[in-house]
Every structure is written in C-alpha cells, then in structure tokens.
C-alpha cells in the first residue's frame, strides 16, 4: 500500500495506543532504542529491552517505572558473543511467558571504523556486519512464528549511508544497505502473513554513536532521540499491516 512520507514523520501515538502489546527493542540501553523503549512503555506496551549491559538496562527500567510504565523485561545480550541457541531460548521464553510478540524493533548497531576500504580492518568489518545485520536476521528468524501469530510489526533502523555509499563509512554503510535488502526481502515474503516490515532512517541524532562519527559537532544543532521516534511509533501502532515494505526518513 502506498504511504504519504509525511504520515509516519508527523505521527503522534494516542494514549494507550500500545496497551497489551509486547514489543522487543534491541539497542534499548542507549540512544534511539532507549528513547523508544520509554515511549512505548508510556503508551502502554510491555517492553522487552535488549542491550549489552545489565547496569544500563536497569537504569532504563528505573526510568520507565518512574514515568508510570510497566516494568520492562531486561535482556542483557552482546550480539558479538551470543550463540545461535541464545536467540532461540529468548524466543521460547517470550512464547512461554507472554504467548505473543506484537513488535520487533532493531535499533542495536555499531559504527566500526571511519576509514577507507583499503585500510579497513577485516575483523572490525565482520563485527559490524554481525551486529548490524546478522544478529537482526537471527533474531527475526526465531521470532517470526510469534510475530505471525500476533500479526506484528518489524521495524529496522537504517541510515542515509545505507541508501547511498559515502567515503570512509566502510562496513557501517554496507551493513545498512544489507538492512534495507533484508527488510525488502522479508516484506515481500511476509506480504500475505499480516506482518509488516518497514525501515526507518532516523537521520542525524544526538547519541553516542553520532558523537563517535562527528566528535566536533554541535550537539544542540541535531535532533534528540525523542524527536526521531514518530515513524517507529507509527509502524508499531498502525493496525493495517499491509503498510509494509517502506523505507522512510524520520527527518
């Protein structure tokens, strides 16, 4: 179904829009994923929050509870260390505890090196591809049965350099092209399964990753993580799952 590009950008989720929904967000311990976890909980969702470190996830849980949200489920998991069985165990646990999954948002990501391809470290290349693409594939694969049952929504996070390559962005840029391709392939496959698959490019956003890429930038001149949430919320809240296969900009 066609989509006016302003619709997701200007979306405001009504109170209770995600009541009774279970939503898994990767990269929820920081940046955009963290802001999204708080927003989803504010709108009534039970959030399953993945991040690398338990301490940062606990701080997120405190913030969610302080703002009146349901206590989130914390999933400390480093994708660089996780074996295949860990993803499956997580899916089985979600099935056992909640019997549903209404949303899966892939926010976790790593920047890697900012250098020419000629000088790019092969080990870092593999890490970036693993965290940004392969873990998203692995998690999506094991969670698809639950998402199909719940007629859920999958949202991937891309980047401008995932649509047009740019010098020095190396594996990060290539990984985001792969994310766009994964989402398109999945959207095509799931067209009749009532699971939507869409991509959001947040654009320049004030987070640790952005500061790593642009250390000298004026942080007040770019968007806050909260400001780029509307399209993520739109795809999670939209009941019409035939709105699928789109790649939109938050700014």
Residues that bind ligand NDP (CB under 6 A): 27, 29-33, 51-53, 56, 78-80, 107-110, 131, 157, 159, 202, 204-205, 207-210
Q: Across the beta sheet with 103-106, what order do the strands follow?
A: 73-76, 46-51, 22-26, 103-106, 153-157, 196-201, 247-249
Query: Is 120 labeled as catalytic in the residue annotation?
Result: no
Residues 6+ apart with CB under 8 A from 233: 11, 13, 17, 36, 39, 40, 43
H-helix segments, the chain: 6-9, 31-42, 54-66, 84-97, 122-129, 135-150, 170-189, 208-213, 230-237
> Minimum CB separation from ligand NDP for residue 99, in Å?
26
Catalytic residue among 87, 120, 172, 234: 172
> Minimum CB separation from ligand NDP for residue 77, in Å?
6
In terms of CB distance, is 29 or 244 closer to ligand NDP?
Answer: 29
In terms of CB distance, is 150 or 207 closer to ligand NDP?
Answer: 207
Residues 6+ apart with CB under 8 A from 113: 120, 121, 124, 170, 171
In terms of CB distance, is 198 or 207 closer to ligand NDP?
Answer: 207
Give the nearest residue (CB) to ligand NDP.
Answer: 31
Given CA atoms 71, 75, 144, 38 in this order, what sign does their dihedral have? positive
First to last CA, the chain: 22
Which value, in Å, is the radius of gyration of the alpha carbons in the chain?
17
In terms of CB distance, is 150 or 159 closer to ligand NDP?
Answer: 159
Long-range contacts at 55-61 (CB < 8 A, ≥ 24 apart) = 56/29, 56/30, 57/28, 57/29, 60/28, 60/29, 60/34
> Minimum CB separation from ligand NDP for residue 1, in Å?
25
In terms of CB distance, is 40 or 150 closer to ligand NDP?
Answer: 40
> Minimum CB separation from ligand NDP for residue 108, in Å?
4
> Minimum CB separation from ligand NDP for residue 89, in Å?
16
Would you name the residues annotated as active-site residues?
172
């Amino acid at each position: 179904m066609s989509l006016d590009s302003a619709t997701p950008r200007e979306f405001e989720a009504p109170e209770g829009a995600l009541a009774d929904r279970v939503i898994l967000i990767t990269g929820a311990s920081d940046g955009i994923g963290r802001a999204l976890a708080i927003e989803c909980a504010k709108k009534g969702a039970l959030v399953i929050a993945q991040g690398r470190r338990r301490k940062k996830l606990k701080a997120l849980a405190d913030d969610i509870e302080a703002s009146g949200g349901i206590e989130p489920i914390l999933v400390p998991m480093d994708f660089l260390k996780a074996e295949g069985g860990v993803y499956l165990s997580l899916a089985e646990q979600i099935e056992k505890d909640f019997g549903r999954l209404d949303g899966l948002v892939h926010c976790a990501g790593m920047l890697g090196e900012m250098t020419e391809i000629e000088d790019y470290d092969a080990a870092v290349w593999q890490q970036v591809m693993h965290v940004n693409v392969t873990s998203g594939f692995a998690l999506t694969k094991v969670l698809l049965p639950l998402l199909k049952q719940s007629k859920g929504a999958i949202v991937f996070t891309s980047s401008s350099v995932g649509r047009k390559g740019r010098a020095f962005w190396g594996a990060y840029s290539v990984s985001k092209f792969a994310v766009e391709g994964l989402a398109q392939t999945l959207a095509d496959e799931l067209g009749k399964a009532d699971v939507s698959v869409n991509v959001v490019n947040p654009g320049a956003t004030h987070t640790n990753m952005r500061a790593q890429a642009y250390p000298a930038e004026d942080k007040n001149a770019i968007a806050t993580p909260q400001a780029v949430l509307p399209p993520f919320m739109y795809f999670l809240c939209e009941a019409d799952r035939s709105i699928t296969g789109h790649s939109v900009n938050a700014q």
